[in-house]
């Protein structure tokens, strides 16, 4: 009697053969690899860290009064002017930041998707999950919070969307910040988002060394301290601004 062919064998025979993705030219070929995506995450992450630190230090000028803050904001628009047209470098920085953000998101999603597919199921994965660093698991919710915050923040202080900041006046950067943070729900959004940003930075600043291949037990303690201090400085600085307005220190 003829034996029935197992169903899985039949399915395997009729399933179309999946071609391997065609290798792209360098550096896209590097980005096709897991390590390449990790490098892109790390490099774009460093760009983000430098921006967030620079932005926070710049905003400290708020404590020096309206004129000083306006002077600083104007300075950002006219860097290297008249050698280059007004706002030229501002636009270069904006496009660079946008590019870094898009790449960071794409690499993050690809790595997350890859890890999800290769993760073992059952007992082992649960044990690994529990053992996994708390901060690394938080990336999944702190990332989307930061993304939503950036959209809100631009609508609030850059585009001046009526529904978000009804008192917005173009060019009045100091007044716009004060008007915005005087509303406690808006101040709360800034505080919560910046705490999420701090948690994201803490894990990001620690893991970027690993992504770049710097993983030496002798410096791992230093990596943790660096990541913690960096995150703490950003959160302290950024949370201080809405609090200062709410407490009437900046008005
Ligand atoms: C409480 C903390 C913060 C304050 C007081 C603040 C303040 C401001 C102000 C006043 C502007 C408008 C500048 C201008 O028009 O000249 C601005 C723009 C911007 N901020 Fe913030 N910011 C804060 C936190 C953040 C954070 C955490 C991020 C990123 C994660 C961020 C990203 C941006 C971006 C991308 C722009 C647009 C820059 C441009 O294209 O001109 N800010 N911020």
pLDDT in tens, 1-13: 445 555 555 555 5
82 confidence band (pLDDT: 50, 70, 90): very high
CA pair distance 124, 115, nearest whole angstrom: 14
Beta strands in 151-231 (DSSP E): none
pLDDT for residue 131 is more than 50: no
What's residue 36's pLDDT? 95
- Greatest CA span in the chain, whole angstroms? 95
For all residues of the chain together, what is the average pLDDT? 89
CA pair distance 194, 14, nearest whole angstrom: 53
CA pair distance 207, 38, nearest whole angstrom: 10
213 confidence band (pLDDT: 50, 70, 90): confident
Q: In this predicted model, which residue has the larger pLDDT, 136 or 100?
A: 100
24 confidence band (pLDDT: 50, 70, 90): confident
Probe target for ligand 1 pocket from 76, 158, 245, with the most ligand atoms within 8 Å of CB = 158
CA pseudo-torsion sign 190, 209, 55, 168? negative
Residue nearest ligand 1's atom 3 by CA = 238
Probe target for ligand 1 pocket from 55, 62, 239, with the most ligand atoms within 8 Å of CB = 55
What's residue 1's pLDDT? 46
Cα of 55 to ligand 1 centre, how many Å?
7
Cα of 247 to ligand 1 centre, how many Å?
21
Q: Interior CA angle at 203 toward 181 and 221, to 5°?
A: 125
């Amino acid at each position: 009697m003829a034996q029935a062919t197992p169903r899985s064998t039949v399915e395997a025979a009729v399933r179309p053969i999946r071609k391997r993705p065609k290798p792209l030219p360098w550096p896209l070929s590097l980005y096709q690899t897991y390590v390449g995506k990790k490098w892109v995450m790390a490099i774009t992450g460093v760009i983000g860290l430098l921006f967030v630190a620079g932005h926070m230090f710049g905003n400290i000028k708020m404590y020096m009064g309206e004129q000083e803050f306006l002077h600083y904001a104007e300075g950002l628009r006219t860097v290297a002017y008249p050698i280059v047209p007004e706002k030229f470098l501002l636009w270069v920085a904006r496009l660079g930041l946008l590019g870094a953000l898009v790449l960071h998101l794409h690499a993050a999603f690809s790595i997350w998707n890859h890890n999800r597919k290769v993760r073992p199921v059952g007992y082992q994965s649960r044990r690994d999950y529990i053992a996994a660093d708390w901060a690394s698991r938080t990336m999944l919710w702190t990332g989307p919070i930061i993304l939503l915050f950036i959209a809100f923040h631009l609508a609030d202080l850059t585009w001046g969307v009526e529904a978000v900041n009804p008192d917005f006046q173009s060019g009045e950067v100091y007044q716009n910040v004060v008007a915005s943070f005087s509303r406690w729900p808006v101040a709360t959004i800034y505080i919560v988002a910046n705490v999420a940003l701090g948690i994201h930075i803490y894990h990001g600043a620690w893991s970027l060394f690993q992504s770049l291949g710097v993983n030496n037990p002798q410096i791992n303690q230093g990596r943790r301290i660096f990541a913690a201090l960096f995150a703490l400085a950003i959160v302290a600085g950024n949370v201080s601004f809405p609090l200062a307005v709410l407490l009437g220190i900046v008005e």
